[in-house]
A and B are shown apart, each in its own frame.
Chain A
């Protein structure tokens, strides 16, 4: 029997009986050719490549990550629960050392789902990786986690959830938000007052090729990871940077994805987007699987692959070099920036957000307040208006000090439902959700 260098766990859950609508890009056909390619490649026959079936996620872990409005049962579908459950299944297999690495090839994706979620946004309702992180912290007491989001779209949902969380380093490389949905992910988005510099964004110009991506990896991501020293590295492995993707404008190839995966060497990868289901996904997924398993991937090339045609311009190369230098300086001066922000905002750090739900065509307005606390990352209060609901969301962070914890509970107790449709308290410390509804 064949044997790979690294043992690898795979979840292949194409959800052949689920779709958003008959012509939606996130549809049943999406992983069909990938599965064909994997089957034809004989991947099931490698002695140490194991295939697992996913499990359904327990609502508890969704509640500890999201505020689902009006309720989990009304917005989260079975397939979303299976996708999030897959992330957890694969995490269990890796953490119990049944396999060294894991890759969940699942649909639908999740990285656009914010902390508060009213429904489908960028094909996402709940955030698969974020839920997995909460699971890992609760069940495996993992402290430092790095999420590297290589999807072509900015991982705005994951960024939102770990915005003020120093234990989760979030780095997203994506096509520049001025040219692509969701229109965020600029270099000045660097995290909340207690986690400045732990959110890093690399907006890349359209037509960036393998060279550009790998440059970012070598010159920013890997050095930052070496300094952060995470206990676990998670790759939000979106595959829509591919040159044939119909929704984006990048020039990444299967070889590039495989090299990136090999260099990054994540413990767990979770599939996000990628809509070139026929010309890209079979080859990119195979490349990633081979790279994770330590199998020679040099013969994986798209049938129409032509590196000359995909070469990026000198202008792009120069821009990316400056970009990496700039972002690295953000990382380097994070303590100083945090000090300045905390000095400037003595009580609460406040930001207004407007979030567009593209799939469903509505907008949410938020006022987010993060308490400046010397002892912990600080209580979070969000006032959200959307679809006629008004939500007060209170988050007691997992590292909360007694003061912030008490303040959160007091606020929940003492606030009258009145104008609010929902008052919700997510106590990450005691792993419990409290709710009051009108």
Chain B
């Protein structure tokens, strides 16, 4: 038995899956306290029988995302070694920030040692100001974390409650994103910890071992609750990932498609290219911060079944406000859901009366008015779809082969999920002239996507034979290699290390997605190789296409 729980803007959706079949599902109203709502939904949904043959529970939660959006954050001190490049002022995201002197260059070679004495002074002043949480980030630290680690060692004496080092969050290059990711990882510490503890209590009360409780990550992967304690940031933005994944596994196989999840508040759009969900090239944007948190690329429109349709200055406006925030004057407006249901509503119903009042303001028949609203809504979705397609087709290409023979992304169909999917389907099909598929269980597809989440990870190996060093930042591997190290050896090592260190069970689960070997020439002589390899775990989904 696998249980999935997805926290949406309006509801909390739960689902139980057994032997590849959905055996139970339920939607719960989302209450004021998010953590309490999650716990209540879990308590109500999870029965004794479910626990007796439980494989895992996966939670997709918005607690950390909410904390960021609502600025409910911890005070953080940041030690930033910015080195050479842009003026670093824009990186001052912490409540106190200190720019350390020192520089690791693009090959991971120490160009200037870090000044630990001045760092110690900064740490003291952080403590004096009551800062208990510390972030440490250096430029090019993923190529060589020496300076971050030296600062970490120095910081240990000061008894911070929580310390996060940048290089552990991602193997990708992008210093500003590393700074912001580290900051956010620190800033949501208390919120996540509260959530963590309440789930802990739940697991103890219901006698569910903690190893069976997982959190959905924004890249569609899942991670055990215990493993995420030091990386709360990986619990953000799991909603769009869950829906993208849900749409993907429920649909009939497609190589290139668009997954659209229309919910109560928003519509999330994800992209399936060459059989894989497209990921953000660097990572998710959280609040105002671009980060290195691996995430499914998705576009979002403030448009859902509960979006308010009103007339402003003689023009139709749809969303982003929803009915929930207008409970008191329900008769003044219609929702998108009302409009979508128009053809089946009774002439004398209150819905009809509201539509009549709106359409008469524009001197239109109700029918024409509804048609216009729907085509506006479809256009809003289409705009974001187009943006996404264009974005994917413009991602940088670095080789002639890919430029000449790489395929352009062109979707074959739309996979439409979410509450109003059936109502929207004919309109999308008519207006966009594309096949639209609404899979079975479209109502709780995101909870299913959350339940079946597979482990998804990326690994970057950089080997430099002049230095005799190899790094795989994602596995925290920094080790020596011989001068005659080759790309074939590197590929073998990477696959072996992934098997040794992580969740892959056999070689076939690890896929090399990018490989380069550059001859390094100094003074016209060959003197070594720079090897770059990227691998990923192939996502493995439960077969759920009944």
Task: Give Cα A260–Cα B520 distance, bound, in whole angstroms.
Answer: 30
B68 smallest CB distance to A (angstroms): 16
Partner of A32, one of B400, B518, B525: B518
Looking at the assembled complex, report how far the CB atom of A182 sits from the nearest CB atom of chain B, in whole angstroms.
19
Which residues of the partner chain B approach A298 to less than 8 Å between Cβ atoms?
Answer: 87
- Smallest CB gap from A10: residue in B: B396
Asked whether A45 lies within 8 Å of B176 as measured between CB atoms, the reply is: yes
The answer on a CB contact under 8 Å between B174 and A16 is no
A223 at the interface (CB under 8 A from B): no
- Show 27 A/B contacts (Cβ-Cβ < 8 Å), sorted by A: A1-B285, A12-B396, A13-B397, A16-B398, A18-B400, A22-B519, A23-B519, A23-B524, A25-B521, A25-B524, A29-B519, A29-B521, A29-B530, A32-B530, A33-B106, A41-B86, A41-B175, A42-B175, A44-B281, A44-B282, A45-B282, A52-B394, A246-B523, A299-B85, A299-B86, A299-B88, A303-B103
Contact among B82, B516, B520, B524 with A16 in the assembled complex (CB-CB below 8 Å)? B516
Q: Please, which residues of chain A bring their CB within 8 A of the CB of B177?
A: 42, 45
Instruction: Give complex CA distance A35, B107 in Å.
Output: 12
Chain A-chain B contacts (Cβ-Cβ < 8 Å), number: 125
Q: How far is the CB of A304 from chain B (nearest CB, A)?
A: 8
Chain B residue contacts of A23, Cβ below 8 A: 519, 521, 524-526
Nearest CB of B to A353, in Å = 30
- Whether the pair B400, A300 counts as a contact (CB closer than 8 A) is no
Given A12-B398, A42-B176, A56-B404, 12 more contacts at CB 8 Å?
Answer: A15-B400, A16-B399, A17-B400, A24-B521, A37-B106, A42-B290, A45-B290, A53-B396, A54-B403, A286-B85, A300-B85, A303-B112
Partner among B175, B288, B290, B521 whose Cβ is within 8 Å of the Cβ of A40: B175
A40 CA to B175 CA in the complex, in Å? 5
Complex formed: what's the CA distance from A110 to B145 in Å?
40
Nearest CB on A from B393, distance (A): 8
Min CB distance A185 to B, Å, is 24
CB distance from A301 to the nearest CB of B (A): 6
A 27-40 to B, binary, CB cutoff 8 A, 1 in contact else 0: 11100110111011
Which chain A residue has the least Cβ–Cβ distance from B179?
Answer: A42
Residue-wise, chain B 505-546 has the 8 Å CB interface mask toward A (1 for contact) of 000000000001011110111100010000000000000000
Instruction: Give the residues in chain B near A36, CB-CB below 8 Å.
Output: 106, 173
Cβ-based interface call for B24 (8 A): no
A 295-319 contacts with B by CB, 8 A: 295-296, 298-304
Give Cα A371–Cα B401 distance, bound, in whole angstroms: 45
Interchain CB contact under 8 A, A303 and B111? yes
**Separation in Å of the A82 CB from the closest CB of chain B?**
6
Which residues on the B side are within 8 Å of A44 (C-beta)?
A: 174, 281-282, 396
A296 lies within 8 A of B87 (CB): yes
- Among A1, A22, A37, A304, the one with the most B-chain Cβ atoms within 10 Å of its Cβ is A37
Q: What is the chain B residue whose CB lies nearest that of A246?
A: B523
The verdict on A283 contacting chain B, using a C-beta distance below 8 Å, is yes
- For B520, the chain A residues whose CB sits under 8 A away are 29
Q: How many angstroms between the C-alpha atoms of A299 and B173 in the bound complex?
A: 19
Interface of A is mostly: loop
B139, CB-defined interface residue at 8 Å: yes
Q: Considering only CB atoms, which chain A residue lies closest to B527 in the complex?
A: A23
Does A78 have its Cβ within 8 Å of any Cβ on chain B? yes
Answer yes or no: B90 CB below 8 A from chain A CBs.
yes
Q: How far is the CB of A251 from chain B (nearest CB, A)?
A: 19
Chain B nearest CB from A406 CB (Å) reads 42
Q: Which residue of B lies closest to A2 (CB)?
A: B90
Residues of A within 8 A of B398 (CB): 12-16, 35
Q: Does residue B375 face the partner (Cβ distance < 8 Å to A)?
A: no
Whether A265 sits at the interface, judged by CB under 8 Å, is: no
Report chain A residues within 8 Å CB of B288: 1
Q: Do A28 and B401 contact each other (CB < 8 Å), given the known contacts A36-B173, A53-B394, A303-B103? A: no
The listed residue (B111, B176, B518, B523) touching A2 by CB distance below 8 A is: B176
Question: Which 8 interchain pairs have the tightest Cβ spacing?
Answer: A303-B111, A42-B176, A29-B518, A39-B173, A36-B106, A40-B173, A17-B399, A296-B87
- Complex CA gap A118/B398 in Å reads 28
In the bound complex, residues from chain A placing their C-beta under 8 Å from that of B90 are 2
B86, A295: Cβ atoms under 8 Å?
Answer: yes
Shortest distance in angstroms between A397's beta carbon and chain B's nearest beta carbon? 34
User: Does B189 make an interface contact (CB < 8 A)?
Assistant: no
Bitwise, B376-417 to A at CB < 8 A (1) or not (0) is 000000000000000000101111110110000000000000
Chain B residue with the shortest CB-CB distance to A77: B400
The answer, yes or no, to whether A282 is at the interface (CB within 8 Å) is yes
Contacts of B173 in A (CB 8 A): 36, 39-40
The distance in angstroms between the C-alpha atoms of A301 and B281, with both chains bound, is 28
A43, chain B: closest CB distance, angstroms:
9
Q: Is A79 an interface residue, CB under 8 A from the partner?
A: yes
A51 x B521 contact (CB < 8 A): no
Q: Is B140 an interface residue (CB 8 A)?
A: yes
A278 within 8 A of B: yes
Residues of B within 8 A of A25 (CB): 521, 524
Q: What does the 1/0 interface line of B176-193 toward A look like (CB < 8 Å)?
A: 110000000000000000
Asked whether A40 lies within 8 Å of B140 as measured between CB atoms, the reply is yes
Residues of chain B in range 107-127 having any CB-CB distance to chain A below 8 Å: 107, 111-112
Complex Cα distance, B530 from A14, in Å, reads 15
Residues of B within 8 A of A16 (CB): 398-399, 516, 518
A207 in the interface (beta carbon within 8 A): no
| Interface residue from A13, A33, A41 paired with B85 (Cβ < 8 Å) | A41
Q: How far is the CB of B315 from chain A (nearest CB, A)?
A: 28
Residues from 67 to 93 in B contacting A, C-beta threshold 8 Å: 82, 84-88, 90
